[in-house]
Amino acid sequence: MKPVASTSEQILDVAQSLIVAGGYNGFSYADIADAIGIRKASIHHHFPTKAELVSALVDRYRQRTELGLKSLREQSASPAAQLQSYVDFWKACIGNASLPFCVCAMLAGEIPMLPDEVASRVRGHFHHLAEWLTSVLQAGAKQHLLRLDQRPEQEAQMLMAAVHGAMLSARAFDDPGLFAAIVEPQIARLRAPVR
């Protein structure tokens, strides 16, 4: 039996799925209130302003991501396996529609009109993810398990863009399988043995 989530966690859960569907301006306090059966004012008790709510959401999202990526590095044997696990995570999310888009990718598109406190957190997530990918690629190259055509930082950026672009295409073409079709060859290219 899963313990009942606290109200503030429930609020963040609903807000997350609404943001994934429609971005920062795509949901309202009323939407959340209706979804979990409380009043709008109760949400303001937990998160006084919308900017604070979304900031808290991004903080939680980043904390979970950091935890996930860290345990990935500890559990997965090789850098190649780590990359694959990262991609597999999103493949599963998009496949079963549980989290069919990265919250921060969604928000990043709206950066020009996001409250500063939210925008800077979204940028933080991008920087963190880029660093993680860079270090994995670097380790793989050092062990001669991955073949990089570019500097690790640049390969990391390319991979990240591929992942986010693939999420968008999967949505635009309404084809979850498209995500893997786009991302897998990129991984395969890195994994290919030195020729």
Note the residues at the interface with DNA (CB under 7 A). 7, 27-31, 37-42, 44-46, 48-51
The single residue among 94, 134, 164, 180 that binds a copy of itself, judged by CB under 8 A, is 164
The single residue among 12, 14, 103, 122 that binds a copy of itself, judged by CB under 8 A, is 122
CB-nearer residue toward DNA: 12 or 136 = 12
The single residue among 112, 116, 193, 194 that binds a copy of itself, judged by CB under 8 A, is 112
Q: Is 62 an interacting residue with respect to a copy of itself (CB under 8 A)?
A: no
Report which DSSP code applies to 36.
H
CB-nearer residue toward a copy of itself: 6 or 131 = 131
Report which DSSP code applies to 157.
H
Q: Is 83 an interacting residue with respect to a copy of itself (CB under 8 A)?
A: no
The single residue among 108, 139, 141, 145 that binds a copy of itself, judged by CB under 8 A, is 108
Q: How far apart are CA 72 and CA 86, in angstroms?
A: 8
Q: Which residues of 12-49 are buried (b: 16+ CB within 10 A; e: fewer)?
A: bbbbbbbbbeebbeebebeebbebeebeeeebeebbee
Q: How far apart are CA 161 and CA 77, in angstroms?
A: 25
